[in-house]
A = this chain, B = another copy of it.
């Protein structure tokens, strides 16, 4: 794990988010609980400047508008120049034509280091005829591991498909992560939070494929621990924050459940 948790807590990387208005609160708080520093600045007049002092950038199109897309492109350009990781969370791709087009526009205009989405979002980005039910994945026809690999190769980046089993591939190496708990699906925004954590780990580990794998193991382990004493989504989320905050490298080593395929 390269002591990523320790590095995050010690260096407190600034993680700039241009994100949606639904889960912005959880993305900020979970980033903080992991030890990184979240910042959100979406005005086009400053978003690139904020990126220039940051260690990673998250672009989340969950409630995208045209002016937000403009700020995303400005920020990503600054991030590309500074060579800090850019994570795109393709929320709702496959649900509307606008999301498909805007995601495509971002991918054509700037370099994205990690593309993250659920199974149908990633399938859609890969050119499949997948439909997303709002922001909820639907089942897909193609083999997800092959999809992730192919998309990673064609875009030259890391691809993360989240679901019951997470798939992470940079085209060369591919990991399956099996940590996590079904209660994570009972709250809104675990997908968005995952993107924040991936960015936090990528800020301290230049192998973004490993960074994404480690981030999802850590988040999943915290979810497993939180679920042990939860009575539903309310208490689960409270405990999820507590478990993330006190997660130790030892626990991570002992409970990480991933496979290289």
Min Cβ gap A44→B in Å is 8
Q: Which A residues, 1 to 57, have Cβ-Cβ distances below 8 Å to chain B? A: 12, 14, 16, 20-26, 28-29, 32-33, 37-43, 45-46, 49-50, 53-54
A142 at the interface (CB under 8 A from B): no
Stretch from A144-152, A167-175, A197-205, A232-240 that touches the partner: A232-240
A139 at the interface (CB under 8 A from B): no
Q: Contact at A53–B95, with CB atoms within 8 Å?
A: yes
Residue of B nearest to A69 (CB): B43
Min Cβ gap A23→B in Å is 7
Contacts A14-B134, A22-B24, A40-B21 known; A49 to B188 CB distance under 8 Å? no
Within 8 Å by CB of A43, from B64, B189, B242, lies B64
Q: Contact at B49–A63, with CB atoms within 8 Å?
A: no
Number of copies of this kind of chain in the complex:
3
Q: Which residues of B contact A133 (CB under 8 A)?
A: 12, 14, 37, 53
Q: Which residues of B contact A49 (CB under 8 A)?
A: 95-98
Contacts A41-B63, A43-B64, A96-B50 known; A239 to B233 CB distance under 8 Å? no
Q: Contact at B95–A39, with CB atoms within 8 Å?
A: yes
Within 8 Å by CB of A233, from B42, B98, B245, lies B245
Q: Contact at B25–A22, with CB atoms within 8 Å?
A: yes
Q: Contact at B95–A50, with CB atoms within 8 Å?
A: yes
Q: Report the separation of the CA atoms of residues A109 and B197 in the bound assembly, to the nearest whole angstrom.
A: 40
A243 at the interface (CB under 8 A from B): yes
A66 at the interface (CB under 8 A from B): yes
A85 at the interface (CB under 8 A from B): no
Interface string of A94-108 (1 = CB under 8 A from B): 011111000000000
Q: Report the separation of the CA atoms of residues A66 and B47 in the bound assembly, to the nearest whole angstrom.
A: 13
- The 7 lowest CB-CB distance pairs between A and B, nearest first, are A234-B241, A232-B242, A39-B134, A46-B98, A232-B245, A234-B238, A49-B96
A-B contact pairs, 22 of them (CB 8 A): A12-B133, A14-B136, A16-B134, A21-B21, A22-B25, A25-B25, A25-B188, A28-B188, A29-B189, A32-B186, A32-B233, A40-B62, A45-B98, A46-B99, A49-B98, A231-B246, A232-B241, A232-B244, A234-B245, A235-B238, A235-B239, A237-B241
